[in-house]
Chain A
Amino acid sequence: NAGVTQTPKFQVLKTGQSMTLQCAQDMNHNSMYWYRQDPGMGLRLIYYSASEGTTDKGEVPNGYNVSRLNKREFSLRLESAAPSQTSVYFCASSEAVQGNNQPQHFGDGTRLSIL
């Protein structure tokens, strides 16, 4: 009953360091997403993958890269971390991006602080 699993749960980085956030889902979903949530704010879409082998930019892609490693896994990479990227990062998955009445399922988040 795992659903969407994110690792790590917490991380502290120094400015300029790189890091990859991992996400895996076990629901055989086609679509996966990365969001960031800043204090007192809603979700902002960073990147998404409609299906295995495809990725697309969301609302705030600058400073990030993604890889859809296979149908289960979708990673988010910060090449050179900046304090403005301090946030809580959520991965989500769904059966499809559009035209489907099924919801997105979310992981528990990665809390990232950049000093």
Chain B
Amino acid sequence: GDSVTQMEGPVTLSEEAFLTINCTYTATGYPSLFWYVQYPGEGLQLLLKATKADDKGSNKGFEATYRKETTSFHLEKGSVQVSDSAVYFCASNFNKFYFGSGTKLNVKP
């Protein structure tokens, strides 16, 4: 069946480091793909999305490219800030919504 798998955390980085959080999906078709961010004590907020192969979603310096050949949607940011510390969720939607288990990011000053 359909599913989303993302790298386990926590991921700890120093400020200004490069970030990659891996996400792969399985689907019976071609799903839409999303990244959400959850700050402490808050709900999930949509960070970016891509709806077809080779699409690149971007927002607030974060980017992710829909790779059909590798069924991946890895989240990247060139220079993280302390304020990026949060939990990040990858999600897909084809016949239903599927969420990954979340990756906690800690950014140290």
Residues of A near any B CB (own CB < 8 A) = 4, 33, 41-43, 90, 92, 94, 97-109
Q: How many B residues touch the partner, as a band?
A: 20 to 34
Name, among A90, A94, A102, the residue most crowded by chain B CB atoms within 10 Å (CB to CB).
A102
Q: Residues of B contacting A41 with CB < 8 Å? A: 101-102
Interface contact A107-B93, CB-CB below 8 Å: no
Residues of B near any A CB (own CB < 8 A) = 32, 34, 36, 42-46, 49, 51, 89, 91, 93-97, 99-102
Interface contact A98-B95, CB-CB below 8 Å: yes
Q: List 13 A-B contacts (CB under 8 A).
A: A42-B100, A42-B101, A90-B43, A90-B44, A97-B97, A98-B93, A99-B94, A99-B95, A101-B32, A103-B36, A103-B49, A103-B91, A109-B42
Interface contact A106-B44, CB-CB below 8 Å: yes
